Structures are given as C-alpha cells and as structure tokens.
Chains A and B, each alone.
Chain A
Amino acid sequence: ETGVTQTPRHLVMGMTNKKSLKCEQHLGHNAMYWYKQSAKKPLELMFVYSLEERVENNSVPSRFSPECPNSSHLFLHLHTLQPEDSALYLCASSQWDREGTEAFFGQGTRLTVV
C-alpha cells in the first residue's frame, strides 16, 4: 500500500462516453500529478496541482479535464476520447518545494477506449 489510491483500476469506455478517474492520497502531501503511460513510451506528465492550484498543463487535449477539490483528492474527467487515449493513467503525490521529497504513485487506471 503506497498511500495513493486510484479508482477504478480498469475502465472501458466508448468514444462518446463521459467518465472520471479518481485519485486519493493519505500522505499529507500538497502536490498531485497525473501521468500517462502508453506502450513503449516514457511516462508523460499531464497535469500538476500544488496547493489545489494547477501549476502545469502539459499541452494536454481539452477532452481531459482535471479537478483538484482539496489537497487529498484529484480527478481526471474524460469525454469524447479517442482510441489512442487508451493507456495506463497514473496518479502521484509529493511535497512541493521540498528538495528531498519522494514521489509516490498509485496503482494506475488501465483505460481502454473502444
């Protein structure tokens, strides 16, 4: 148990559906991240939230919409996705502005767009 929990673990959705991914951390961190991991590609940073404010949006299409209601919860809202969006979506947390802090990851949500 890493202290970062993601739900659901698996999701299959059609291109016209709307769904949301949820991430929760119990580590007292003040920064949370969404990463995308596609086959044979390095992890790609999507969004970063620090103190519930978005500090980075890494050129992600608008069909992905993040939400951070508080420092413990992070959502990724999905709508009108494409098959190439199928991937493992990973959430992470850390302490912003602390040099020595580790990043902790959840188990990921395996998303398949059909």
Chain B
Amino acid sequence: KQEVTQIPAALSVPEGENLVLNCSFTDSAIYNLQWFRQDPGKGLTSLLLIQSSQREQTSGRLNASLDKSSGRSTLYIAASQPGDSATYLCAVRDNYGQNFVFGPGTRLSVLP
C-alpha cells in the first residue's frame, strides 16, 4: 500500500528566504506526482504536476523535482512571500488504483 510522508510538518521563515519542502513515497510505481496548496478551510489548488518520466517542473518561483527510484520529491520556493503562507500537500498517483494518495502536508508560515 502506497504511503506518503512530508517533512517538515510545519515551517516558519522570514520573508525573502528560499526554502525546500520534502515529500517521500514508499512505492515507486507511480503515474505522476502533484504538489498542491491549501489555504485554511479551502480546497486544493494545483501547483505543479511531474510525470513519472520527468525529473523537474518549474512555475514562477516554484520548482519541483522528482527522484522516482528513491521515492522522493522536493518543492523549492524561491524568495518566499507572506502570501505563500499555506499548507502544501504532495500526492502521488499510483499505477494500481490510479488514485491520488496524499501526504499529511507541510504548514508554511512566511513572516513579514
């Protein structure tokens, strides 16, 4: 059974810092990995999708990498801003049920 973990559980940084969020998964047989952002009480907003054949995706200040063989992904946020404060979730879509298995999230606070 696929399991997804995220480290750290919470992170607080001053504005302007670059930061890295980590995601690990136990079964490398995945279709893709997706990073989401969730603001309190709201739904999920898709940030980046990395297909199983890709190693990296970029969107603005965000860069996500994927190392499928080691079961890891990182989300890099450059020049963080207070508006980046949210919970960041990673999810893998596995080859078996084709469902999305989520990690518990990293709660990020960017202080002005």
Contact = CB atoms under 8 A, between A and B. Distances in A.
A76 B32 CA distance: 27
A45 interface: yes
A100 B97 contact: no
A97 B51 CA distance: 13
Contact of B102 (A2, A43, A108, A110): A43
Chain A interface bracket (under 10, 10 to 19, 20 to 34, 35 or more):
20 to 34
Contacts of A2: 43, 45-46
Nearest to B43: A107
Contacts of B83: none
Interface string B37-66: 000011111100101100000000000000
B43 A106 contact: yes
Nearest to B39: A107
B100 interface: yes
Contacts, number: 63
B57 to A, nearest CB: 11
B98 A42 contact: no
Given A99-B31, A102-B34, A33 B89 contact: no
B31 A42 contact: no
Given A42-B103, A43-B102, A99-B31, A56 B97 contact: yes
19 contacts: A2-B45, A33-B100, A41-B104, A42-B102, A42-B105, A43-B89, A45-B101, A48-B97, A48-B99, A56-B97, A88-B41, A97-B98, A99-B31, A100-B31, A103-B100, A105-B46, A106-B43, A108-B42, A110-B41
